[in-house]
Amino acid sequence: MKVRTRFAPSPTGHMHLGNLWIAFLNWLWTRQQGGTVILRIEDIDRDRCREEYVRGIENDLAWMGLDYDEGPGKTGPYGSAVQSERYDIYRQILSRMEKEGAIYPCYCSRSRIHQVLSAPHEGEERPVYDGHCRNLTAEERARMTKQPCWRLRMEDGSVSFRDLFLGTVTRHLKAGADDFVVRRADGLVAYQLAVSIDDGQMGVTHVFRGNDLLDSTPYQAFLIRKLGYPVPVYGHLPLLVDTRGIRLSKRQQGITIEELRNRGSRPEDLIGLLLYLAGGLSEPRSVSLKEALEHFPFEKLTALHKKHIVLPVS
Ligand code: GLU
Ligand code: ZN
């Protein structure tokens, strides 16, 4: 099986070390396996995304030498890797799911959903829906005036996926409670659906991303399987945090790659720093990409099993 992976940034800001960490590890592993790297631009939420950030991401990756085989300007066998150019695929799949009854319209008001979500649910840590609109009749639907969002009709059962660091992860999913939104009331495809369709339809075999997305993975694995695609293997990576424990991406002015470049950092300095953080070096030093590829097997990077990794500088 040929390995296919993706780095999937949302172009809502400049690329920082936290993004580069994921991009680099994904690239390193994939290239060591002789696989295909996809750069997928997750820009369905047009209000939050900017073209300038897409250019920035391309620029930073090119400067680092982290090349990709499919991405903006390089359409692969499964179509564009830019989500805003993939609406037709999403629409087709949504209409198929509607015909099959796999999704249903939900007319609940914002305040009703708010009430449901804030009610105590024993043993539940994630948002739960109460399935209110699951079984509306055709007449009841016809009487509604509000634009609905659409939810997945979940089945009771469990879903499992494999993670390179966590082993097999199994989660129970409940009909109703876990009926998550796949299409928003404003017509936008929900993030959860776009990611699942893309990972499935683009033949992604391994998903490397931050472990902050771990709670979404059971939903995505369920959906990918339901759509008839093989579920990828996951590699949920530790997040980089600053010395106060704050995630780099959450900080307003995290250290962007552009800033580091302007301050005189070279790509090999950043690679050395990332390898050090990953447990591959006892102290940071300059490492070329070629050396990283040949002498730093991904499997030997010991810190990747951690929950988070503290970046010792500000
Ligand atoms: N676009 C998401 C983000 O930038 C990542 C999605 C993923 O890797 O699955 O947070
Ligand atoms: Zn509802």
Looking at residue 250, what is its pLDDT? 57
Q: How many domains does the chain have?
A: 2
Nearest CA to ligand 1 atom 6: 8
155 found inside a domain: yes
Looking at residue 255, what is its pLDDT? 82
Mean pLDDT of the chain: 93
**In terms of domains, do 125 and 183 share one?**
yes
191 C-alpha vs ligand 1 centroid, how far in Å? Answer: 9
**In terms of domains, do 251 and 175 share one?**
no
207 found inside a domain: no
pLDDT-derived band of residue 154, with 50, 70 and 90 as boundaries? very high
Buried b (16+ CB within 10 A) or exposed e, 238-257: bbbbbeeeeebbeeeebbbb
Looking at residue 246, what is its pLDDT? 84
pLDDT tens profile 33-81:
999 999 999 999 888 999 999 999 999 999 999 999 999 999 999 999 9
pLDDT tens profile 6-23:
999 999 999 999 999 999
Ligand nearest to the CA of 109: 2
**In terms of domains, do 104 and 185 share one?**
yes
Ligand 1 and 18: CB distance under 6 A: no
| Residue where a domain terminates, one of 169, 195, 221 | 195
Q: Does this model's pTM top 0.85?
A: yes
**In terms of domains, do 21 and 93 share one?**
no
184 found inside a domain: yes
**In terms of domains, do 94 and 60 share one?**
no
221: left (phi over 0), alpha (psi -120 to 50) or beta: alpha
DSSP 102-165: SEEEE---HHHHHHHHHS--TT--S-----TTTT--HHHHHH--SPPEEEE---SEEEEEEETT
CA distances from residue 89 to 16, 49, 70, 72, 204 in whole angstroms, order as listed: 31, 20, 17, 17, 16
pLDDT at residue 242 greater than cutoff 90: no
Looking at residue 118, what is its pLDDT? 75
The CATH number of residue 274's host domain is 3.40.50.620
| Residue where a domain terminates, one of 139, 163, 195 | 195
201 found inside a domain: no
Ligand 1 and 8: CB distance under 6 A: yes
**In terms of domains, do 49 and 34 share one?**
yes
135-153 average pLDDT score = 96
Looking at residue 1, what is its pLDDT? 84
**In terms of domains, do 102 and 58 share one?**
no
Looking at residue 127, what is its pLDDT? 66
Instruction: Look up residue 209 and give its two tokens.
Output: 């991303």
User: Helix or strand or coil: residue 310?
Assistant: strand
Q: What domain range is 259 assigned to?
A: 4-84+238-310
The CATH number of residue 158's host domain is 3.90.800.10
91-115 average pLDDT score = 94
Considering the chain, what percentage of its residues have pLDDT values greater than 70?
95
217 found inside a domain: no
Q: Which of the two residues, 242 and 80, has the higher pLDDT score?
A: 80
Looking at residue 182, what is its pLDDT? 96
Instruction: Look up residue 75 and give its two tokens.
Output: 């359409």
Neighbours of 65 (CB within 10 A): 14
pLDDT at residue 198 greater than cutoff 70: yes
Ligand 1 and 10: CB distance under 6 A: yes
pLDDT at residue 192 greater than cutoff 60: yes
In degrees rounded to 5, what are phi and psi of residue 114? Answer: -60, -45
**In terms of domains, do 91 and 63 share one?**
no
107 C-alpha vs ligand 2 centroid, how far in Å? Answer: 5
Sheet with 4-7, strands from edge to edge, namely 36-39, 4-7, 206-210, 233-237, 157-163, 167-173
Burial status of residue 276 (CB atoms within 10 A of its CB: 0-12, 13-18, 19 or more): middle
Whole-angstrom Cα Rg for the chain: 21
pLDDT tens profile 246-296:
888 755 556 899 999 999 999 999 999 999 999 999 999 999 999 999 999
Looking at residue 17, what is its pLDDT? 93
Looking at residue 58, what is its pLDDT? 98
Looking at residue 110, what is its pLDDT? 86
Looking at residue 258, what is its pLDDT? 95
| Residue where a domain terminates, one of 162, 180, 195 | 195
pLDDT-derived band of residue 165, with 50, 70 and 90 as boundaries? very high
pLDDT at residue 84 greater than cutoff 90: yes
pLDDT tens profile 110-131:
888 888 877 766 655 566 899 9
**In terms of domains, do 79 and 111 share one?**
no
Whether 300 is catalytic: no
In degrees rounded to 5, what are phi and psi of residue 71? Answer: 165, -160
Q: 307: which DSSP letter?
A: S
Of the listed 74, 174, 226, 250, which one is catalytic? 250
